[in-house]
Amino acid sequence: MIVWVNGSFGAGKTTLVAELHSRWPDALVYDPEQVGLLLREIVDDPTGDFQDLPLWRSQLVSLALGLLKEYERPVLVPMTLVHPLYMSEVFGALAAAEVTMHHFFLKVPTDVLERRLRARAVPPHDPEAEAAGLAWVMERVVRCVAAADTMPAGTVFLDGERPTAELADDVLKQVGVAV
């Protein structure tokens, strides 16, 4: 089983997955961003978004399937994936592999996301890089919020302004995990 927690940057995906993992320690946490960062070390990323790399999308799926097969444990995935074609490609490949997948989307208003993103604590080792990173995610917030209207059938929408513990209760109930 894959439990995919989707939503904009700053929506609380990683925080929710950490809470889920604390209650469901048998689950593995798989962040496909790590695959993207690895690819950036190896190949050029001409658009600045590793999701545009076909290899990222195929490796995301391959590693998810490998984790499921090798470890036979549920996989928690905190990842923003809102490009309709990429979502179709990734989710379609997982469906073709007959993976049980639960897809959650954290809905958070744009102004709240922008406030959260500006408040993120980051190490002051490279202020220019941090400013560029913040600008990059801020440019994408509106698109991510609008993507809620294009999520595939079966997506469960969560109010990302609710307390994380309550959201975790909802997710675990939806996926049939009693903890």
Residue 59, domain member (yes or no): no
19 φ, ψ (degrees, to nearest 5): -65, -45
For position 14, which CATH number holds?
3.40.50.300
Which stretches of the chain drop beneath a pLDDT of 50? Answer: none
Which helix (H) or strand (E) segment is 96 a member of? helix 84-96
DSSP assignment, residue 178? -
Q: pLDDT per residue over 74-104, tens digit each?
A: 999 999 999 999 999 999 999 999 999 999 9
Residue 34, domain member (yes or no): no
Q: CB within 8 A of 84, min separation 6: which ones?
A: 147, 150
The one-letter code for the residue type at 27 is A
Q: What pTM value is reported for the model?
A: 0.90
DSSP assignment, residue 123? -
Q: Which phi-psi region, left, alpha or beta, contains residue 62 (left: φ > 0; alpha: ψ -120 to 50)?
A: alpha
Q: Which domain covers residue 17, as residue numbers?
A: 2-29+74-173
Residue 113, domain member (yes or no): yes
Q: pLDDT per residue over 158-175, tens digit each?
A: 999 999 999 999 999 999
What is the pLDDT at residue 113?
76
Residue 44, domain member (yes or no): no
Per the structure, the count of domains in the chain is 1
